Amino acid sequence: MISRATLAIAVPAAPALVVVLVVLVPGRLVTLVARIAAVPTAVLAVMLAIEAMRAPGDPVVGDWLVVDVAGGLLVGVIGLVGLASVLVSQTSLDRARTSLVSPERRDRVYYAVLYAFWAILLAVPLAGNLGGAWLLVAATTAASALLVGFSGTGRALEAGWKYLVLTSLGLGVALLGIVVLAAGVPDGGLGALSWRALSGHASSDGALVAYLLLLAGLAAKIGWAPVHNWLPDAHSEAPPAVSALLSAALLPAVLLVAWRSEQTLAPVIGARTAETVLVAFGLASLAVAIPFLWRSLPWKRLLAYSSLEHMGVIALGIGFASPLALAGVAVHIVGHAIAKALGFYAAGPLLAVEPHAADRPATGLARGNPVLGTSMGVSLAALAGLPPSPLFVSEVLIVAGGFQAGRPWAAAATALLLALGFLGLAHALLETTGGRRRRRVADVAGLGTLGALASVSVVLLLALAAAAVWLPGSDLVDALAKGVS
């Protein structure tokens, strides 16, 4: 039996090794190697997720490595989304007319950077040290900025630079918070920044200032309002597979760092205070997202603002911190990843069917192309929280958890904002799938893969909705509440 610690090291090491292979193999084998190697990487990630959830009350916690339920859950999500992203990437690459590099080097560079991004993403939830987690999050910025601007067009380069500058500024603010924290921990050295050591911070006032700086900085990477401005542009210009990783994997991975910071510093600054900051970010993100969800937007921009909404929902669940809310958080992270990744994967065939969809809303797709329309409909229905979507169950749990936590006003505001968001996405669902009739397109590259992913997504979403009924009161929720302490 492989230990969880060994498995945790192997998970990010596998895609890192693939980077080397992609660089060294002959050009004609790059795509084949990339696709084959994605399978063992995903298998290792799922194995670690299963191991973490099999022993929820006994996490592996060290100065540099942590394997707990929350981290294991995210590693499993990142592994599966990464696998699907690798599998759908080649269709988008073949369809692209421009890139940052020459056509001869395009595939090699793309897969090398994509695998590097995937490896770093897998390492973030396993970081047992705040300093190490910050370094990994910073490394994701460099890799993902290249991928956002990979097409090389003026708009893509602008979006990549905007993403790089805004998130780097946020990480600079977060670094200042880490410096303040390190100064207040009695024992010096990088080991003092481990999650367990930080709970021994000497000054509650210093810890509060550091916590606010840390969350305000990380908010720029998570996509919380009011520092979410990079989201719509980056998602609009990034390749669909990269957008899926950004939304379904990167945002919740950085949010986990914020969650662990809250759990670690709550004994020092007060649990209510630490949770209130998350509730404020959550409500602000929901409130800012709603007006955009009510507008007719191009497909990828609509999904980007949906990410703003759903990261706000997860922040609220963590801030409420009650058993019902935390059960909703676990379901929401997984359900959002499935639905959002499917939505972005549909963007590739969508642009082939409707080239103008990059700038204008697409309508009536179920009439013109049933596979594409159905796939987009499944994504939007799940994201809207239309029953039996697991996101409907998770949102009910989070709102109920707000009342359970003694925050009736925040819970009531959450329910109202979620209802408004549902109306916006439901309207988009009706227009996208059943609006004005489009001509039928018989053969578009990638539709077969998209149909298969849509079928798998439906099965996973229904299974998750069923599991959500069982989750409250389980040992997994108790472990989420305990964290890495």
pLDDT in tens, 3-37: 888 999 999 999 999 999 999 999 899 999 999 99
pLDDT digits (tens, 9 = 90+) for 260-309: 999 999 988 999 999 999 999 999 999 999 999 999 899 999 999 999 99
Bigger pLDDT: 266 vs 357: 266
What pLDDT is recorded for position 421? 95
The reported pTM is 0.96
Q: Which helix (H) or strand (E) holds 167?
A: helix 154-184
439 pLDDT more than 60: no
Q: Closest Cα to residue 118, out of 219, 224, 17, 3?
A: 17
338 pLDDT more than 60: yes
Confidence of residue 188 (pLDDT cuts 50, 70, 90): low
Total Cβ atoms within 10 A of residue 142: 14
DSSP assignment of 66-131, as one string? EE-HHHHHHHHHHHHHHHHHHHHHHHHHHH-S--SS-HHHHHHHHHHHHHHHHHHHHHGGGB-BHH
Report the mean per-residue pLDDT for the chain.
91
Total Cβ atoms within 10 A of residue 16: 16
User: Which range among 111-125, 269-283, 355-369, 427-441 shows the weakest confidence by mean pLDDT?
Assistant: 427-441
What pLDDT is recorded for position 192? 76
336-359 mean pLDDT: 88
102 pLDDT more than 90: no
Q: List the structure tokens of 150.
A: 């990979």
189 pLDDT more than 70: no
CB contact set of 29 (below 8 Å; sequence gap of 6+): none
Please say whether the dihedral angle defined by the alpha carbons of residues 180, 186, 190 and 192, taken in this order, is positive or negative: negative
Confidence of residue 461 (pLDDT cuts 50, 70, 90): very high
423 pLDDT more than 90: yes
Q: Closest Cα to residue 148, out of 97, 113, 106?
A: 113
Confidence of residue 199 (pLDDT cuts 50, 70, 90): confident
Task: Note whether 10 and 46 are within 8 A (CB).
Answer: no
Question: What is the spatial distance between Cα 301 and Cα 312, in angstroms, rounded to a whole number?
Answer: 17
Q: List the structure tokens of 393.
A: 């169950």
User: Which range among 35-39, 72-76, 365-369, 461-465 shows the weakest confidence by mean pLDDT?
Assistant: 365-369
User: Which range among 63-72, 234-243, 322-331, 352-361 shows the weakest confidence by mean pLDDT?
Assistant: 352-361
78 pLDDT more than 80: yes
SS3 188: coil
pLDDT digits (tens, 9 = 90+) for 125-146: 999 999 999 999 999 999 999 9
Question: What is the spatial distance between Cα 204 and Cα 268, in angstroms, rounded to a whole number?
Answer: 5
- Give percent above pLDDT 90 in the chain: 68
What pLDDT is recorded for position 187? 63
Q: Closest Cα to residue 346, out of 230, 247, 240?
A: 240
What pLDDT is recorded for position 437? 58
Bigger pLDDT: 394 vs 154: 394
203 pLDDT more than 70: no
